[in-house]
Amino acid sequence: MSLKLGVPSKGRLMDKTFDWFEKRGIHLSRTGSDREYAGAVEGIDGVSLVLLSAGEVPRELAAGRIHLGVTGTDLLQERLPLWEQQIDEIAPLGFGQADLILAVPRAWVDVETLDDLDAAAAAFRAHHGHRLRIATKYHRLVREFLRAGGVADYMLVDSQGATEGTVKNETAEAVADITSTGETLRANHLKLLSDGVILRSQATLWRSRVASFSASEREALERFLDLVT
Ligand SMILES: Nc1ncnc2c1ncn2[C@@H]1O[C@H](COP(=O)(O)OP(=O)(O)OP(=O)(O)O)[C@@H](O)[C@H]1O
Ligand SMILES: O=P(O)(O)OC[C@H]1O[C@H](OP(=O)(O)OP(=O)(O)O)[C@H](O)[C@@H]1O
């Protein structure tokens, strides 16, 4: 069997991951038709490519179905509560940098910090009869962050995309999402709280601590680590 390397199957994360490995002598490519999720590895023996969603890489690493994988720190920490027990970080890749942040409407001039948000949330509940809604797909990380920050009077609403639009659509009062340039926040009249950075993320190469390695896979891993670290 070969060492299995899981890489995002599309978009900027796939392209930049392919470039990163190319610079280290490992040529990754998609094979077959545009729509077929098949891949090839050249420049190193005994390694095979598994193309999958960035969001599924953590689960596959934790299940030991792939030995190595590339995905963002945000997705890994959100999906795997005790990730350090299951996964080792091999190398940050220097792209896919984005911050998971908490943002509120720019018009909320009295809300600049988590303490302000806590006060606003209590007032919001008293006034509206339901808790302030925060839209996000990062439920676990946001809950942990708000617990540590002493904010209690809120509820999370799930948003799997276009999260910044939920405030305008009146399905949430605040959002917790990834930002890179800040353009999307600005365009949607939202502002970051001054102490509202939940996590700084970037694309990272990870190794499963759970996967079993045959003798030939272990040799392939050594060759792989020589090239990439
Ligand atoms: N604007 C951005 N700039 C840089 N990195 C970003 C940006 N938006 C998202 N990312 C990062 O890209 C990675 C993939 O995010 P994305 O939301 O596309 O994943 P996904 O939706 O789970 O993947 P898929 O669409 O394949 O299911 C995450 O680690 C995220 O932090
Ligand atoms: O700060 P910016 O540079 O504007 O980038 C932030 C946006 O990028 C990501 O969205 P993506 O384009 O991946 O779409 P999605 O929200 O539908 O996942 C993220 O969810 C933000 O919406």
- Verify that 106 and 191 share a domain, yes or no: yes
- Verify that 103 and 196 share a domain, yes or no: yes
If you measure from the C-alpha of residue 155 to the centroid of ligand 1, how many angstroms do you get, rounded to a whole number? 24
- Verify that 112 and 164 share a domain, yes or no: yes
Q: Convert the pLDDT of each residue in 98-129 to its tens digit.
A: 999 999 999 999 999 999 999 999 999 999 99
Total tally of structural domains belonging to the chain: 2
- Verify that 103 and 85 share a domain, yes or no: no
- Verify that 102 and 92 share a domain, yes or no: no
Using DSSP, how many helices (H) and how many strands (E) does the chain show?
A: 9, 12
- Verify that 9 and 79 share a domain, yes or no: yes
Tell me the residue range of the domain where 222 lies.
3-96+202-228
CA-to-CA distance for 174 and 193, rounded, in angstroms? 11
- Verify that 190 and 103 share a domain, yes or no: yes
Q: Token pair for residue 86?
A: 């299951």
Catalogue the long-range contacts made by 116-120 (C-beta closer than 8 Å, 24 or more residues apart). 116/193, 117/151, 117/174, 117/193, 118/149, 118/150, 118/151, 118/152, 118/153
For residue 25, give the CATH number of its domain.
3.40.190.10
Q: In ligand 2, which atom is closest to the CA atom of 161? A: 17
Global ipTM: 0.93
pLDDT on residue 160: 97
Bridge partners of 175, per DSSP, are 103, 135
Model confidence band, residue 15 (pLDDT cutoffs 50, 70, 90): very high
Asked if residue 177 has its Cβ within 6 Å of ligand 2, the reply is: yes
pLDDT above 90 for 37: no
**Quick one: what percent of the chain has pLDDT higher than 90?**
97
Q: Convert the pLDDT of each residue in 133-146 to its tens digit.
A: 999 999 999 999 99
CA-to-CA distance for 173 and 158, rounded, in angstroms? 13
Q: Supply the pTM of this predicted model.
A: 0.95
* Residue with CA at minimum distance from ligand 1 atom 30: 72
